[in-house]
Amino acid sequence: MDSFVAMYLRLNASGWGNEGVQSLLSLRGIRKEFPGCLANDDVDLDVLPGQIHALLGENGAGKSTLVKMIYGILRPDGGEMLWNGTPVTIDTPSTARALGIGMVFQHFSLFEALTVAENISLGIPKELAGPGLNDRIVEISKFYGLPLDPTREVHSLSVGERQRIEIVRCLLQNPKLLIMDEPTSVLTPQEANKLFETLERLASEGVSILYISHRLEEIRKLCHKATILRLGRVVSDCDPSLETARSLAEMMMGGDLNLAERRQGTAAGPVLFEVSRLSCQPEDPFGVPLKDISFALREGEILGVAGLAGNGQKELMGMLSGETLSDSPGMITMGDVAVGSLGPRRRRALGLGFVPEERLGHGAVPDMMLWENGFLSAMQGQNLMSKGFIKVAKTVGFTRAVVNRFNVKTAGVEHNASSLSGGNLQKFIVGREIEQNPSVLIVLQPTWGVDAGSATAIHQELMDMAANGAAVLVISQDLDELFAVSDRIAVMCEGSLSRATPVSDTTVEQIGLLMGGLQDPERIAAGLAI
Amino acid sequence: MRIEARTEISQPMIYMAPVLAIALTMLAGMVLFWVMGHDPLVSLYTFFVAPVNNLDGIAELMIKATPLVIIGIGLSFGFRANVWNIGAEGQLTIGAIAGGVLALVFYEVDSLFLLPGMIIVAALGGMAWAAIPAFLKTRYNANEILTSLMLTYVALLILSMLIHGPLKDPDGMNFPESRMLHDAALLPILIEDTRLHAGVFLALAAVATAWVILGRHIIGFQIKVIGMAPRAASFAGFDQRKIIWLSFMFAGAASGIAGISEIAGPLGQIVPTISPGYGFTAIIVAFVGRLHPVGILMAGLLMALSYLGGENAQIEMNMPNAVTGVFQGMLLFFLLACDVLIKFRLRFK
């Protein structure tokens, strides 16, 4: 039987290559300008067949813009693209796919109520979606170590499994170039290692991979070559395995990296924020029910909550911020006040600050100016209103202070929030809350998509807040981040929260296993003090 | 043929769309006139220029534009917040009845407070009628498009019942009309020998108020945030129900005021047909004006012109009454088509 995999291998055999061979994709002098900002200027890039090529840069350095042009979502203003040495114009994603370019986005576009196979068939050409699709999905997913059951419905899958759907969808189309945008930000360390095996296997078969990540250690391990962008220009091409994470970060920043200083365990003060026996059934049919969650947040401490996305973090965040009200007011208390039935404005008035996960459309209004977005959460605390009228000058002043303090790259506070790169907007949203000096700060994914230098700055600000007596809750999937800032750490899995353990008593591996849902009592008794 | 989302949306084109739509409407109108056997250029002149080439014509234009602008402004708040109040016509009718009844109750009473009182009562009447869909929406999550639209027909039947019964002029030879309002209950005439009344100031005040509320006030800010990003509104802690209520109240008040400015203006009495569909046309006005106060002012004048042009075309060219509706429909159609083509493109295979 002429299996699909064998066919796949034959098709890719022509793409084998070593140094000195024809580049698969070459960019020459690519330029892209947005109003008020030159996103890419004179960018040259050569991706060789079978190479894993890292694209590095700070937020706003132009990485996303560049890959969007390669994938046909944006059009360059100047320069040319060569595919196997022939000039090409890629004006739509379908053109890109026809050439053999696949892309796995940071955000998946999947329908929760449909099965894996149905979702895959929606995103590929009709010719491929015909009968036998299920078999091909199974075949390809087994071959590349991406186990996937085509008949499962998406809402029952973990984020890691959802990512596999996107990858398999690309692989079905025999890509010669696979673009991956921050693929490991949603994975446990164990899942990430599996993904690396898959990518290495693909590369060994001649598929090129353009890899974007802020995790420099994994780039050092995985990638053959790195191109570093700064302010839209290529500043360096290097072999990442010969560099250190620090030297890579410094190339991206063009300066020295100051690592956040770990505070030495300050004596925790009185409880500022407490959750006791919080349960809730979400309105969203695919939401995660919260089960009996309890924790106390003390003055001067940072509590980290680890867990893979989709284990109830969003639902918990909604309850803590007051966007969802709890069944009984006493489930959440701030100091002596039961706040469970108070909305976000009332909780802010009591000194709560919070940063939701979604930047565009939740933490900020994309089509509103930056200063209007400053007003959004600071209107009460900063006294930006008088008799219902917006104090524009004062709001602009507040917003400028946030932009300057957190080094947000923007052409000005009168530009729309959507004009900022993802990481820059994240800095703005986190900064907007920190600048208000809340006594309790709750952040979901504080440095999601933020570059190393800025992430360090945000970590430092969070730790300074705690040192000055605030209570901080950080909910994140990034274990390095949690271990860098937290005093205690707890794990969220399927809507339950484990008891918090001091960071010094646990390890990344142990937390990683708990995140993956490991509940083997023997193992826990043997090694994990949870 | 397929429709694909454009990757980059041109910002200037969003504001050019109404201008393009007007040009296309005129072009299509010329073709229409030509097919019907009229000289296209002469027809266009008859429709768009002749009605306003004298003072009287300009006064009539402003009279027609007044209710359209007032209602358009009122509706624009809700439309920005994704509250789809389609029932302005009914709110106008109830407001007009309420204000008109006050004038009839105080018939022949010569007081400076009567006219302002009528305006306030009319606004309250419109708000009361708008409160029904607002309540059904916030309490039972009933679709406001259906409830507000259906209530329009209820309002028109209430008007019909009253005008054939208790409100009928006792000396009116059984015609279904109220008494003529006395002078103290009428909006003053601004230019002698025309019908131009002080209601235009109400329209201008509405434009200015809306400008301030949308630009600088927390209510306008909340409306914009809810419309653009509902989850950001809940992050900020804005109460969506409150905004639904406010949107309906703004529209109800505006529609009621527009209704009384007809009764106390050009009509001078309560009649079986208070408005030739201003409440519906104002929806087009709001969207052609891009929900912006100044845009709505311009769009109101344009729509008013289509009414006058339609009347003129009936008189001069023997066109049917439907020609007004055809032009308004074409304008909305072309505007929506331009909007679609600005955001999407067609691909042929």
Q: What is the mean pLDDT of chain A?
A: 84
Contact B232 A365 (CB under 8 A): yes
Dist. CA A54–CA A102, nearest whole Å: 16
pLDDT of residue A265: 54
Does A151 map to a domain?
no
pLDDT of residue A409: 86
Total domains in chain A come to 3
Chain B residues closer than 8 Å to A344 by CB = 234-237
* Residue of chain A whose Cα is closest to the Cα of B11: A35
**CATH number of the domain that residue A347 is part of:** 3.40.50.300
Residue B216 touches chain A, beta carbons under 8 Å: yes
Contacts of B165 (CB under 8 A, 6+ apart): none
Q: Which residues of A touch B (CB under 8 A)?
A: 73-75, 92, 321-323, 343-346, 348, 356, 358, 360-368, 372, 375-377, 379, 385, 388-390, 392
**From the CA of B233, how many Å to the nearest CA of chain A?**
8
pLDDT of residue A519: 54
SS3 helix, strand, coil % of chain B, rounded to 5? Answer: 75, 5, 25
Extract the tokens encoding B143: 């679709």
Q: Does residue A211 or residue A519 have the better pLDDT?
A: A211
pLDDT of residue A36: 67
Dist. CA B107–CA A485, nearest whole Å: 78
Cβ-nearest to B236 among A376, A385, A392: A376
* Residue of chain A whose Cα is closest to the Cα of B233: A362
Nearest one of B160, B161, B180 to B170, comparing CA atoms: B180
Does A297 map to a domain?
yes
A491 and A343 part of one domain: yes
* Residue of chain B whose Cα is closest to the Cα of A35: B11
Extract the tokens encoding A234: 């290529």
Nearest one of A401, A403, A374, A405 to A390, comparing CA atoms: A374
Residues A98-140 pLDDT 10s: 899 999 887 778 888 889 988 888 878 777 777 888 888 888 8
> Using H for helix, E for strand and C for coil, what is the string for A66-77?
HHHHHCCCCCCC
* Residue of chain A whose Cα is closest to the Cα of B345: A92
Contact A377 B224 (CB under 8 A): no
Split at pLDDT 50, 70, 90, the class of A9 is very low
Cβ-nearest to A323 among B8, B217, B235: B235
A306 and A412 part of one domain: no
Residue B349 touches chain A, beta carbons under 8 Å: no
Selected for mutation to probe chain B from A92, A109, A365 (highest B CB count within 10 Å) is A365
Chain A residues closer than 8 Å to B218 by CB = 379, 385, 388-390
A106 and A209 part of one domain: yes
Cβ-nearest to A348 among B216, B229, B237: B237
Residues of chain B with pLDDT below 70 are 7-9, 349
Chain A residues closer than 8 Å to B229 by CB = 360-362, 364-366
Q: Is-above-0.80 flag for pTM?
A: no
Task: Give the residue from A253, A276, A293 where a domain finishes.
Answer: A253
Q: Is the pLDDT of residue A15 over 80?
A: no
Task: Give the residue from A437, A460, A494 where a domain finishes.
Answer: A437
A146 close to A167: Cβ distance less than 8 angstroms? yes
Percentage of residues in chain A having pLDDT higher than 90: 34
Chain B from 6 to 25: CB within 8 A of any A CB: 7-8
**From the CA of B76, how many Å to the nearest CA of chain A?**
18
Does A320 map to a domain?
yes
Residues A408-439 pLDDT 10s: 888 889 998 988 877 889 899 999 999 999 99
Selected for mutation to probe chain B from A91, A317, A376, A385 (highest B CB count within 10 Å) is A376
pLDDT of residue A94: 85
A331 and A472 part of one domain: yes
A27 and A105 part of one domain: yes
A218 and A95 part of one domain: yes
Cβ-nearest to A74 among B7, B232, B236: B7
Highest mean pLDDT among A123-127, A358-362, A486-490, B12-16: A486-490
Counting one residue from chain A and one from chain B, the pairs whose CB atoms sit within 8 A come to 68
Q: Is the pLDDT of residue A146 over 90?
A: no
Q: Is the pLDDT of residue A57 over 90?
A: no
Q: Is the pLDDT of residue A527 over 70?
A: no
Does A381 map to a domain?
yes
Nearest one of B147, B235, B83, B218 to A372, comparing CA atoms: B218
Q: Is the pLDDT of residue A217 over 90?
A: no
**From the CA of B112, how many Å to the nearest CA of chain A?**
31
Does A116 map to a domain?
no
B94 close to B274: Cβ distance less than 8 angstroms? no
Contact B236 A345 (CB under 8 A): yes
Q: Is the pLDDT of residue A460 over 80?
A: yes
pLDDT of residue B7: 65
Cβ-nearest to A365 among B8, B217, B225: B225
A363 close to A378: Cβ distance less than 8 angstroms? no
A92 and A206 part of one domain: yes
DSSP at A364: B
Structural domains in chain B, sorted by start: 2-347 (1.10.3470)
A275 and A384 part of one domain: no
Of chain A, the end-to-end C-alpha distance in Å amounts to 52
Q: Is the pLDDT of residue A312 over 60?
A: yes
Q: Is the pLDDT of residue A522 over 50?
A: no
Q: Identify the H or E element spanning A354.
A: strand A352-355
DSSP at A264: P
Report, as an integer, the average pLDDT of A142-149: 84
Extract the tokens encoding A268: 């925790």
Chain A residues closer than 8 Å to B221 by CB = 372, 375, 390
pLDDT of residue A268: 65
Cβ-nearest to B7 among A73, A321, A366: A73
Q: Is the pLDDT of residue A528 over 50?
A: no
pLDDT of residue B225: 95
Residue B2 touches chain A, beta carbons under 8 Å: no
Contact B235 A343 (CB under 8 A): no
Does A374 map to a domain?
yes
Chain B residues closer than 8 Å to A358 by CB = 231
Does A40 map to a domain?
yes
Report, as an integer, the average pLDDT of A482-494: 90
Split at pLDDT 50, 70, 90, the class of A259 is low
Extract the tokens encoding A275: 């959750």
- CA-based torsion, A79, A82, A85, A86: positive or negative: negative
Domain carrying residue A300: 258-351+439-530
Residues B19-56 pLDDT 10s: 899 899 999 999 998 998 889 999 889 988 999 999 99
Report, as an integer, the average pLDDT of A209-213: 91
Q: Is the pLDDT of residue A516 over 90?
A: no
3-state SS assignment for residue B154: helix
A341 and A424 part of one domain: no
Extract the tokens encoding A296: 């106390």
pLDDT of residue A287: 79
B119 close to B84: Cβ distance less than 8 angstroms? no
Dist. CA A287–CA A309, nearest whole Å: 12
Chain B residues closer than 8 Å to A348 by CB = 237
pLDDT of residue A508: 80
Residues A227-239 pLDDT 10s: 999 888 998 899 9
A95 and A244 part of one domain: yes
pLDDT of residue A144: 83
Does A475 map to a domain?
yes
pLDDT of residue A258: 65
Contacts of B83 (CB under 8 A, 6+ apart): B137, B144, B243, B244, B247, B248
Q: Does residue A263 or residue A296 have the better pLDDT?
A: A296
Highest mean pLDDT among A392-401, A456-465, B311-320: A392-401
A107 and A195 part of one domain: yes
pLDDT of residue A93: 86
Chain-centroid distance of CA B93 in Å reads 12
B18 close to B26: Cβ distance less than 8 angstroms? no
Q: Is the pLDDT of residue A304 over 70?
A: yes
Residue B346 touches chain A, beta carbons under 8 Å: no
A470 and A500 part of one domain: yes
